[in-house]
Amino acid sequence: MNKLSLGIELGSTRIKAILIDETKNAIASGGFEWENKLENGIWTYSLEEAWHGLQVSYAELIEDFKQKHGVELEKVDAIGISGMMHGYLAFDANDKLLVPFRTWRNAITADAEHQLTELLQFNIPQRWSVAHLYQAILNGEDHVNEVAFITTLAGYIHWQLTGNKVLGIGDASGMFPIDSKTRDYNENMLGIFDEKIKDKCYDWKLKDILPEVLVAGELAGTLTPEGARLLDPTGKLNSGIALCPPEGDAGTGMVATNSVKARTGNISAGTSIFAMIVLEQELSQVYPEVDMVTTPKGDAVAMVHANNCSSEIDAWVKIFREFLSATGFEMSTNDLYQTLFTEALKGDPDAGGLLSYGYLSGENITKIPEGRPLLVRTPESNFNLANLIRVNIYTAFGALKIGLKTLEKEQVKIDKIFGHGGIFKTEGVAQQFLASAINIPVSVMETASEGGAWGIALLADYLTEAAKKSLEDYLEQQVFAQAKSHESQPLSEEIRGFETFIKHYEDGLAIELAAIENFK
């Protein structure tokens, strides 16, 4: 094995490590399950648990490599770190964390969102890092006076491993607007922000506390001895290993689905769901439903992000598991999901007139401030198992569908859409429903289950290729030339059925608001 690259992604429910060889295939993996927690009204993760999860994931990968290949893993040539985009990790001059990690899932920065979007004439969603910072300023939070550095989860982990306060441009584009021409933060907008808060007399300028921006293929530092011990407390992992720029899960999803060219896109579905469409030209105006971010090399991307996706599906599956257990039957998790998802194919095109909201948290696109999962039906609804599962899959795509209508108005051209994430694991179910929901063919690659950890491993591998070829050519020629995928076409009857569902979905948002007001 001449060349080995390690990718680690800190996702919303799983930390995953993948090792790839010179063929770009995964040859070993490890993982750790974790969950966000709502503490004092803030969605957060413990950084101590993050490090524990990283160590467990790496240790499992080492053991997996030994079991599969019969030898100890002796070297790694390159490492990449990826994580959930956005959020707020703020540190003082002594590198002390000032407030608990505020994740992308929080819907607590509405005032900052509105004011910054108006100020910069650029959509600044609630989950963006600068929105969290500005909301803390509006709130008069004392810690803002002490801020010396803010970053994302991937940026924090990379910093601790290398000592470098840097960030891949894709992840950076979810902190503050990027100028795709300069491949850096928008200087004009930085100046506008600093002028807006000048009367606060802080010791910092915004650019001074943001990570340095790097693009795919640039060296982002090397693993320090201290960083090596953070990943591998056994001391066997050598320092000096090259690291690529840390990236967000949106960027690694683009890489993992070969969606970095103009007119390509991907939809990542997990705890949240987002579509990434690489643009040929800028949109004509600012849209609150659309984030403007970038690919890992800095090209403009329209991102439609919804906070809620598969969590309510998982909750229902848990109920069915409890029922099986109560009756004395056992079924693997994979088989249970496959059974229920396959049953959904038997449902009515409009899901039998059922209405569901899988809102465990607030939803930015539909302007819902808090989470209230709901299932609603009329006496005439066709309430059966197939429709129950179908409506929960439909609703996972509901807010995304509303956001994508904006790109339809802009006549954004999309040649390919690739889906990835656990919801697509049962072939031809969620993938088929999504194709009909957005009226675009949806493909799922056989490698889709590898996800962002594989994507960041590829970006680590690309470090030695960047001088010879573009990221697009590297992916096209060396990674996906022989890739296999399964494509689902929109079905006319399902298109009409989903349109009926989405009308009920939009009309029923008043029910969701009433639940927030009356069910505490």
pLDDT band, residue 505 (cuts 50/70/90): very high
Could you tell me whether strands 89-91 and 264-269 are parallel, antiparallel, or unpaired per DSSP bridges? unpaired
Per-residue model confidence as pLDDT tens digits over 226-246: 999 999 999 999 999 999 999
The answer to whether the predicted template modeling score (pTM) of the entire model surpasses 0.75 is: yes
Contact 477, 370 (CB under 8 A): no
Residue 191 has pLDDT above 80, yes or no: yes
Q: Is 321 helix (H, G, I), strand (E, B) or coil?
A: helix
Per-residue model confidence as pLDDT tens digits over 4-40: 999 999 998 899 999 999 999 999 999 999 999 999 9
What is the predicted pLDDT for the residue at 112?
97
Mean pLDDT computed over 114-139: 96
Only one residue has tokens 């680690």, namely 8
Mean pLDDT computed over 49-55: 98
Residue 391 has pLDDT above 80, yes or no: yes
Could you tell me whether strands 442-445 and 273-278 are parallel, antiparallel, or unpaired per DSSP bridges? unpaired
**Best CA proximity match to 301, nearest among 338, 363, 259, 335:** 259
Residue 304 has pLDDT above 80, yes or no: yes
What is the predicted pLDDT for the residue at 199?
96
Please give the helix or strand (H or E) that residue 7 lies within, else none.
strand 5-10
Please give the helix or strand (H or E) that residue 214 lies within, else none.
strand 212-214
Backbone phi, psi, residue 185, to 5°: -60, 150
What is the predicted pLDDT for the residue at 520?
85
Per-residue model confidence as pLDDT tens digits over 333-376: 999 999 999 999 999 999 999 999 999 999 989 999 999 999 99
Mean pLDDT computed over 491-506: 98
Contacts of 215 (CB under 8 A, 6+ apart): 168, 169, 183, 245, 296, 297, 298
Q: How is 421-464 classified by DSSP, letter by letter?
A: SGGG-STTSHHHHHHHHHTS-EEEETTGGGHHHHHHHHHHHGGG
CA distances from 511 to 15, 295, 371, 397 (A): 36, 38, 12, 19
Cα gap 301→303, rounded to integer Å = 6
In 183-210, which positions are buried (b, 16+ CB within 10 angstroms) versus exposed (e)? bbbbeebbebbeebbeeeebebebbebb
For each of the domains in the chain, give its residue range(s) and CATH number, in order of start: 258-307+400-487 (3.30.420.40), 311-396+493-518 (no CATH)
CA distances from 371 to 106, 113, 311 (A): 11, 19, 12
pLDDT band, residue 491 (cuts 50/70/90): very high
Q: With the CA atoms of 444, 447, 451 and 456 taken in that order, what torsion angle do they form, in degrees rounded to the nearest 10? A: -130
Start-to-end CA distance of the chain, whole Å, equals 57
What is the predicted pLDDT for the residue at 448?
58
- 16: burial class by Cβ within 10 Å (0-12, 13-18, 19+)? buried
Per-residue model confidence as pLDDT tens digits over 60-76: 999 999 999 999 998 99
Contact 486, 424 (CB under 8 A): no
Contact 110, 36 (CB under 8 A): no
pLDDT band, residue 447 (cuts 50/70/90): low
What is the predicted pLDDT for the residue at 450?
65
- 229: burial class by Cβ within 10 Å (0-12, 13-18, 19+)? middle
Sheet strands (E) in 317-379:
355-357, 374-376
Backbone phi, psi, residue 331, to 5°: -150, 140
Cα gap 294→291, rounded to integer Å = 10
Residue 153 has pLDDT above 80, yes or no: yes
**Best CA proximity match to 13, nearest among 62, 108, 83:** 83
Q: What residues pair up with 212 in beta bridges, in sequence order?
A: 166
Q: Residues, the chain, total? A: 520
What is the predicted pLDDT for the residue at 40?
92
Average pLDDT, the chain: 95
Residue 449 has pLDDT above 70, yes or no: no
What is the predicted pLDDT for the residue at 39?
93
What is the predicted pLDDT for the residue at 265?
93
Residue 459 has pLDDT above 80, yes or no: yes
Residue 460 has pLDDT above 90, yes or no: yes
What is the predicted pLDDT for the residue at 281?
87
Residue 126 has pLDDT above 90, yes or no: yes
Could you tell me whether strands 166-168 and 273-278 are parallel, antiparallel, or unpaired per DSSP bridges? unpaired
